[in-house]
């Protein structure tokens, strides 16, 4: 009877009486796979297009690493596609740059739902073999000077002085999503920041856009529910 392979890491399971004289080779390969899954690091350039990871039977492969650093200058929306059927935990670091601030980077399997990475963050993600979701997120602040569509978890220095007033559009919300926006140039009083509710969402129970017009203002919005939408977690001004 031929070997079989485990679901999540494709470790080889040798049938009794098979592969005489090769057990050492199989065991060593399995140990290398376990090492890759527990501490493997891979830098992946996603600049030119979507990247799909492999999960090969009985050998090391790129989809068995633990930590992925995604690099390159995005020229469009990109997907980083994890192996289907494997139940795994991954750590993904977004080290890309965006030729347009609105390009997105999503981690997912080929057929399931995924997680869209906030810019310059590191995420602990888990996959049930179909859907990929966030476990923990290490955030960083990024600066925007022009219209931008936010993603959950964004922490944004909003610079309305260098260019002009602009609008940040909120994403579709899920309970506990947060977005932070800060007047990094102390200039909202002269050039306002508009927060667009994105049509289907509300801000503080209102369907109207929110305008920040106080110098030094800093707010964090958290999504509560469909009735009230995004509400203030904090709202302060210098």
Give residue 99's pLDDT: 63
The dihedral sign for the CA sequence 34, 38, 42, 48: positive
Give residue 24's pLDDT: 87
Tokens (6 digits) for 23? 């057990």
Segment 9-63, tens digit of pLDDT? 999 888 877 777 777 899 999 999 999 999 999 999 999 999 999 999 999 999 9
Last residue of a domain, one of 95, 116, 138: 138
**121 and 164 share one domain:** no
Provide the residue range defining the domain that includes 187. 141-238
**147 and 216 share one domain:** yes
The residue among 146, 197, 189 whose CA lies nearest residue 167 is: 146
Give residue 161's pLDDT: 97
CA distance 188 to 227: 29
**20 and 120 share one domain:** yes
Give residue 200's pLDDT: 75
**60 and 103 share one domain:** yes
What 3-state class would DSSP assign to 85?
A: coil
Cβ distance 96 to 72 under 8 Å? Answer: yes
Last residue of a domain, one of 97, 113, 138: 138
Record the pTM. Answer: 0.79
**106 and 162 share one domain:** no
Last residue of a domain, one of 120, 138, 156: 138
**230 and 120 share one domain:** no
**128 and 150 share one domain:** no
**118 and 194 share one domain:** no
């Amino acid at each position: 009877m031929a070997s079989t392979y485990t679901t999540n890491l494709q470790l080889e399971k040798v049938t009794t009486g098979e592969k005489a004289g090769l057990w050492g080779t199989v065991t060593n390969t399995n140990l290398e796979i376990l090492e890759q899954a527990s501490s493997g690091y891979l830098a992946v350039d996603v600049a030119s297009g979507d990247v799909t990871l492999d999960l090969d039977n009985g050998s090391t492969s790129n989809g068995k690493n633990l930590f992925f650093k995604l690099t390159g200058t995005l020229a469009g929306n990109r997907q980083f596609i994890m192996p289907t059927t494997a139940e795994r935990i991954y750590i993904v670091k977004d080290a890309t740059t965006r030729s347009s601030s609105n390009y997105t980077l999503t981690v997912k399997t080929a057929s399931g739902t995924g997680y869209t990475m906030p810019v310059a963050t590191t995420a602990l993600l888990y996959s049930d073999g179909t859907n990929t979701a966030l476990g923990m997120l290490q955030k960083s602040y990024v600066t925007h000077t022009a219209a931008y569509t936010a993603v959950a978890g964004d922490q944004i220095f909003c610079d309305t002085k260098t260019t002009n007033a602009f609008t940040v559009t909120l994403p579709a919300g899920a309970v506990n999503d947060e977005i932070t926006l800060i007047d990094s140039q102390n200039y909202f009083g002269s050039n306002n920041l508009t927060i667009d509710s994105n049509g289907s969402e509300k801000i503080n129970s209102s369907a109207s856009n929110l305008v920040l017009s106080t110098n030094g203002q800093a707010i964090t919005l958290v999504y509560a529910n469909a009735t009230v939408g995004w509400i203030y977690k904090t709202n302060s001004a210098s």
